Amino acid sequence: MDTLFSHATVVTMDESMHIYTDGFVGITGGRIAYVGKNPPPEGGKPRKIIDAAGMVLMPGLINCHTHLPMTILRGCADDYDLQTWLTQHIFPREDRLDDRCVKAAALLGIAECLQFGVTSVSEMYDHVGAIAEAAAESGIKANISRGTTMFIGDDFDFETFPACRELAAAREKWDGYDSGRLRIEAAIHAEYTSTHQLWDAVSEYCINEGVRLQVHLSETENEHSSCLEKYGLTPAEVLDCHHVFDVPAVAAHCVWLSESDMKLLAKRKVSAVHCPVSNLKLASGVADVPAMVRAGMNVALGTDGTASNNNLDLFEEIKYAALLAKEKHHDPTALAAPAALMMATVCGARAQGREAECGMIKTGMDADLILLDFTRPHLMPCHNVLSSLAYSARGGDVVMTMVRGRILYAEGKFPTIDLSAVVKDLAEYAMPRVFHPEEQEAKS
């Protein structure tokens, strides 16, 4: 046995929601080898023992929708209306990103994820090669997709379309990297930023190649109703007509789904990713999570990017999800703590196609684990650990993050990320390039 956690409150998130109040979890070869309320037989002979008294050990969280490199834009444009935000502040700056900027910004985002107990992310952006490099070096798990857009008048050929070429190249280099730690997926940015030629081509590619897909779906009322006007179909319906959901897919936001959309997506086994903080911040609305669950959909959680949040703290999303559901349904019993925690763990694993390997503490699964310090005032007393995790805890309470048995964050340090080098590169290269291009031009 490589590592043994002792005396932890173990929140397994397994099918019976077992909780061990003075429990032991043993790890061998990056996998969970033992879970129990007693020490393992013959002590397990671990090479390392982590005394977790006063701590909660739980599965690492899974952030199912983000745009990691947007850390570089964190707080640069808040409290604007959506059009001004996008067209004047976000797009012009994103256009100036290159691979080096993206890698540094992604590493900063990954550090934040690890510090806050996230062990796997689903990512949609461009420069996916740079993001994959960052994920590969850091040790985090990631399902990385290349967001594709296409407008009427674009000539379209999958083989030559830049975004699709980038997708194909990234798949070749990175898909399955490190025994599946990294996966490359396809993405259609959204219905309203693309046309049927793209949908047909991407869905055909995914079906032929066995590739999963990510898409933004019905995020705003305007998007949803404009689609109805244009096609007489909802975004979910029109994409489904073009076989987009014939492969495992993840739909972010799902704020304005109709009831029949939910039934359709449930039938197609599309996972929704609820991003409550981003939805509120951009005044997009509040997705109806209980209704989606009732319709049979798997609903996971995501932070979206840091330009509309502005952090990557999935514990924050857990609480927002639970509280907003109670308000939306005028029912304090709606989306209770256990369900909210499931969204961030088992449901996230299912959305990523990783349900066999993570999301629970169970023998045979990957040791993707986090420890939280429950000796802090706001986590005492602990009458109900699931309540405390959902309603009191925050990402900042995480003191250790481990992926496949490897510690990627502990005691304020990141063994796999040189954070000061990343910050320096952002400050000296990336931010001037993105925010002060006129000075860059003057220099050259």
Among 52, 150, 337, 365, binds a copy of itself (CB under 8 A): 337
Nearest residue (CB) to a copy of itself, 234 versus 311: 311
Q: Which is nearer to a copy of itself, 49 or 76 (CB)?
A: 76
Give the orientation angle of helix 128-138 with respect to helix 99-115, to 10 degrees.
40
91 makes contact with a copy of itself (CB under 8 A): no
Q: How far apart are CA 348 and CA 364, in angstroms?
A: 18
CB of 236 within 8 A of CB of 261?
A: yes
Regarding 79 and contact with a copy of itself (CB under 8 A), the answer is yes
Query: Could you give the C-alpha distances from 163 to 212, 236, 353, 366, 417, in angstroms and in order?
Result: 16, 23, 23, 33, 28
Q: Does 85 bind a copy of itself (CB under 8 A)?
A: yes
Q: Which is nearer to a copy of itself, 160 or 333 (CB)?
A: 333
233, 266, 410, 431: which one contacts a copy of itself (CB under 8 A)?
A: 431
Write down the least CB distance from residue 394 to a copy of itself, Å.
6
Torsion of CA 346, 74, 216, 177, to 10 degrees: -60
Q: Does 326 bind a copy of itself (CB under 8 A)?
A: yes
- Partners of 217 in the β-ladder: 253
Nearer to a copy of itself by Cβ, of 45 and 330: the residue is 330
Per the CB < 8 A criterion, the answer to whether 90 and 82 are in contact is no
Q: Which two tokens stand for residue 176?
A: 């399955």
The span of 107-115, 186-194, 206-214, 291-299 binding a copy of itself (CB under 8 A) equals 107-115
Q: Considering the rule CB under 8 A, would residue 332 count as an interface residue with a copy of itself?
A: yes
When asked if residue 100 is in the footprint of a copy of itself (CB under 8 A), the reply is no
In eight-state DSSP terms, residue 160 is T
Using CB under 8 A as the binding criterion, the count of chain residues that bind a copy of itself stands at: 67
387-426 binders of a copy of itself (CB under 8 A)? 387-388, 390-392, 394-397, 419, 423, 426
Give backbone dihedrals phi and psi of 88, rounded to 5 degrees, phi first: -95, -25
49 by Cβ neighbours in 10 Å (0-12 / 13-18 / 19+) ranks as: middle
Q: Is 65 left (phi over 0), alpha (psi -120 to 50) or beta?
A: beta
- Which of residues 45 and 383 has its CB atom nearest to a copy of itself in the complex? 383
If the CB atoms of residues 28 and 71 are measured against a copy of itself, the closer one turns out to be 71
CA–CA separation, 18 and 29 (whole Å): 24
Binding residues for a copy of itself, per CB under 8 A? 71-76, 78-82, 85, 108-109, 111-112, 115-116, 277, 279-283, 285-286, 306, 309-313, 316, 323-324, 326-327, 329-334, 336-337, 376-378, 380-384, 387-388, 390-392, 394-397, 419, 423, 426-427, 431
